[in-house]
């Protein structure tokens, strides 16, 4: 059931969370599928709805910075600096957890991922419920992330207690995840907050988690439409294919395509990010056999977009 995020419906949603149910809600990045982060059974419902493997931990969403100390055992000074400067916003920090956080939330890890979202609906919901809310993106495991309530309905309708509609997400790509668990801060997932902004505050951040799957969102084949994705660099020559096309600035001059989506005519990466998953959802529904995607500049938000495109294109058939 989709309900507009009025105060009355927010109250209903908060009550569902308090009673151990699941609520899909908007954040500025993507829609999340939330449950009480302190209730292992409620969190289990989120894993079931998404068919998400239990080894993949969830991000815990909070409404105020005071909640950090309730959930985290220790806060690195760098993590504090980032939270002060960039929260609320599309940033997740991974820090040592307290025992109050159930193991199912963190997949047995001794760390917890925390984020204070900026979307007013998300913040009101968490504040009204009065509990931290564990929420992965509201899509089946491995598939395209939702940036509208309709995307959630299409992919998970019937599997969640309530979907709150707060309009399309303004950032459009998941939060940037930084781990403060070693000697230096590490980037676990590029996302909606450009790395440049983070490094301007805490200095160099280690890139690339190597081969270890510390953030399973980093698995190849993630963020995938059902239709195969092929990344193209330069002009696409072959014709006669039933292809859809994801362009950065302008539609391709040559070739006939089943559908074309242009991310940002002015070449603005923020605009491109905000349209990214919606465009992929549309192309995926177009009936094409393949989605051809242009490369994007790998700076600012472009880093996160290329990360998602690469993973989508690595999906095994």
Report how far apart, in Å, the C-alpha atoms of 298 and of each of 195, 308, 309 are: 11, 12, 12
**Residue from 227, 286, 241 nearest 259 by CA:** 286
SS (H, E, C) the chain: CEEECCHHHHHHHHHHHHCCCCEEECCCCCCEEEEECCCHHHHHHHHHHHCCCCCCCCEEECCCCHHHHHHECCCCHHHHHHHHHHCCCCEEEEEEECCCCCHHHHCCCCEEEEECCCCHHHHHHHHHHCCCEECCECCCCCECCCCCHHHHHHHHCCCCCEEEECCCCCCCCCCEEEECCCCCCEEEECCCCCHHHHHHHHCCCECCCCCCCCCHHHCCCCCECCCCEEEECCCCCCCCCCEEEEECCCCCCCCCCCEEEECCCCCCHHHHHHHHHHHHHHHHHCCCCEEEEECCCCCCCHHHHHHHHHHHHCCCC
Minimum CB separation from Mg ion for residue 53, in Å?
12
The entry of Mg ion, ligand TXA, none that residue 279 binds, CB within 5 to 8 Å by partner kind: none
Q: Which is nearer to Mg ion, 249 or 310 (CB)?
A: 310
Q: Which is nearer to ligand TXA, 288 or 302 (CB)?
A: 302
Residues 277-306 that bind Mg ion (CB under 5 A): none
Minimum CB separation from ligand TXA for residue 240, in Å?
37
Minimum CB separation from ligand TXA for residue 215, in Å?
4
Q: Which is nearer to ligand TXA, 42 or 188 (CB)?
A: 188
Q: Which is nearer to ligand TXA, 186 or 283 (CB)?
A: 186
Distance from C-alpha of 112 to C-alpha of 71, rounded to nearest angstrom:
8
Applying CB under 5 A, does 155 fall inside the site for Mg ion?
no
Q: Quick one: which segment of 31-39, 113-121, 133-141, 286-294 binds Mg ion (CB under 5 A)?
A: 133-141
Q: Quick one: which segment of 12-20, 135-143, 272-280, 305-313 binds Mg ion (CB under 5 A)?
A: 135-143
Residue number of the CB closest to ligand TXA reads: 217
The entry of Mg ion, ligand TXA, none that residue 214 binds, CB within 5 to 8 Å by partner kind: ligand TXA
Q: Quick one: which segment of 10-18, 36-44, 137-145, 224-232 binds Mg ion (CB under 5 A)?
A: 137-145
Q: Which is nearer to ligand TXA, 33 or 260 (CB)?
A: 33
Q: Which is nearer to ligand TXA, 59 or 312 (CB)?
A: 59
Minimum CB separation from Mg ion for residue 111, in Å?
18
Name the token pair of 44: 């289990």
List 36, 137, 176, 278, residue binding Mg ion (CB under 5 A) = 137
Minimum CB separation from ligand TXA for residue 220, in Å?
13
Q: Which is nearer to ligand TXA, 28 or 294 (CB)?
A: 28
Minimum CB separation from ligand TXA for residue 159, in Å?
16
**Residue from 231, 204, 251 nearest 291 by CA:** 231
The entry of Mg ion, ligand TXA, none that residue 89 binds, CB within 5 to 8 Å by partner kind: none
Contacts with ligand TXA, residue ranges (CB under 6 A)? 27, 29-30, 32, 56-59, 90, 92, 94, 106, 109, 111-113, 115, 117, 135-137, 174-175, 177, 188-189, 214-217
Cβ proximity of 208 and 270 under 8 Å:
no
Count of residues binding Mg ion (CB under 5 A)?
1
Handedness of CA 88, 171, 195, 92 (dihedral sign): positive
Which residue ranges make up the site for Mg ion (CB under 5 A)? 137
């Amino acid at each position: 059931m989709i309900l507009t995020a009025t105060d009355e419906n927010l109250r209903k949603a908060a009550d569902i969370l308090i009673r151990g149910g699941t609520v899909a809600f908007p954040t500025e990045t993507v829609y999340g599928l939330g449950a009480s982060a302190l209730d292992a059974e409620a969190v289990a419902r989120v894993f079931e709805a998404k068919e998400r493997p239990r080894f993949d931990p969830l991000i815990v969403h909070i409404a105020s910075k005071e909640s950090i100390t309730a959930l985290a055992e220790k806060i690195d000074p760098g993590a504090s600096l980032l939270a002060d400067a960039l929260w609320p916003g599309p940033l997740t920090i991974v820090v040592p957890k307290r025992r109050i956080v159930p193991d199912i939330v963190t997949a047995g890890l001794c760390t917890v991922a925390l984020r204070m979202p900026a979307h007013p609906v998300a913040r009101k919901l968490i504040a009204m419920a009065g509990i931290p809310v564990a929420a992965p993106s509201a899509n089946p495991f491995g598939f395209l992330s939702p940036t509208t309530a309709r995307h959630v309905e299409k992919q998970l309708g019937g599997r969640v207690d309530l979907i709150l509609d707060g309009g399309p997400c303004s950032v459009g790509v998941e939060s940037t995840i930084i781990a403060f668990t070693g000697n230096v801060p590490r980037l676990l997932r590029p996302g909606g907050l450009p790395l440049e902004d983070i490094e301007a505050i805490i200095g160099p951040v280690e890139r690339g988690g190597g081969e270890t799957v510390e953030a399973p969102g980093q698995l190849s084949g993630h963020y995938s439409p059902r239709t195969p994705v092929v990344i193209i660099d330069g002009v696409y020559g072959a014709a006669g294919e039933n292809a859809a096309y994801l362009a950065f600035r302008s539609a391709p001059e040559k070739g006939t395509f089943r559908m074309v989506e242009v991310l940002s005519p002015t070449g603005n990466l923020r605009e491109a990010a905000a349209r990214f998953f919606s465009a992929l959802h549309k192309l995926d529904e177009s009936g094409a056999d393949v989605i051809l995607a242009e490369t994007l500049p790998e700076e600012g938000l472009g880093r996160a977009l290329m990360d998602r495109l690469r993973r989508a294109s690595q999906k095994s058939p």
